[in-house]
Amino acid sequence: MLKTKIAVFVSGGGTNLQALIDAEKRGEIPNGEIALVLASNDTAYALTRAAENNIKSVVVKRKAFPSQEVYEEKMKEILNENSIEMIVLAGFMSLLSEDFTSFYPKRIVNIHPSLIPSFCGKGFYGLHVHEAALEYGVKVTGATVHYVNEIPDGGEIILQKAVEILEGDTPEVLQRRVMEEAEWVLLPKAVEMVAKKLQKGN
Ligand code: GRF
């Protein structure tokens, strides 16, 4: 069976990348194949996860390029060389321009650790998202997988899952619960859905 070739973009620990690798191994992403890991820095632990699983990886640092345009051209070139058809942003901290996102319409997905449209957009990344949820006092948060377009966290929603906030939660505790109960479950499911759709469309 043909599989959609996927690149996972990372910047940090890569637990979501790990969830995807594990799901693929369990046969839960039959329509997709993680063919490349692209990291925004060379210290990302996600690179070790890629190496341990024999997945090709590449580091592309924004600072190594004179402009956003040249940086993105380089990434496009790498994606093209590796026949990549779909991109998953899994904790990718480098910004992508509208030029880039519109070049891959409905082919880039992102995971965000809240129920969009709450606690999303500019400034809402990492622990800040969970700090804001606790500060507001919401009783339910969660994770969202969405398509990526020019609006930060504003593309069409693919899947969402709610997670309860408990008495005494710290941002760190909540972050971990959102990952365990929502992100690591949701992302592989959404990736399979999109990979499957792209197979049909091709
Ligand atoms: C996750 O919380 C994800 O939702 C957000 O960045 C974090 C990445 O964590 N976009 P990891 O690198 O996958 O462990």
What SS3 string covers 74-85?
HHHHHHHHCCCC
Distance CA 33, CA 146 (A): 19
81-96 pLDDT per residue, tens: 999 999 999 999 999 9
Q: How remote is the CA of residue 138 from the centroid of ligand 1, in Å?
A: 21
Q: Whose CA is nearest to atom 11 of ligand 1?
A: 14
- Which fold, 4-111+144-159+183-201? Rossmann fold (3.40.50)
- The ranges assigned to domains in the chain are 4-111+144-159+183-201
Q: Whose CA is nearest to atom 3 of ligand 1?
A: 91
20-70 pLDDT per residue, tens: 999 999 999 999 999 999 999 999 999 999 999 999 999 999 999 999 999
How many C-beta atoms surround the C-beta of residue 144 within 10 A?
Answer: 24
Q: Collect all residues with Cβ–Cβ distance below 8 Å to 50 and sequence separation of at least 6.
A: 14, 17, 37, 56, 57
Assign 157 a pLDDT band (cuts: 50, 70, 90): very high
User: Does the pTM of the predicted model rise above 0.95?
Assistant: yes
In contact, 110 and 96? CB cutoff 8 Å: no
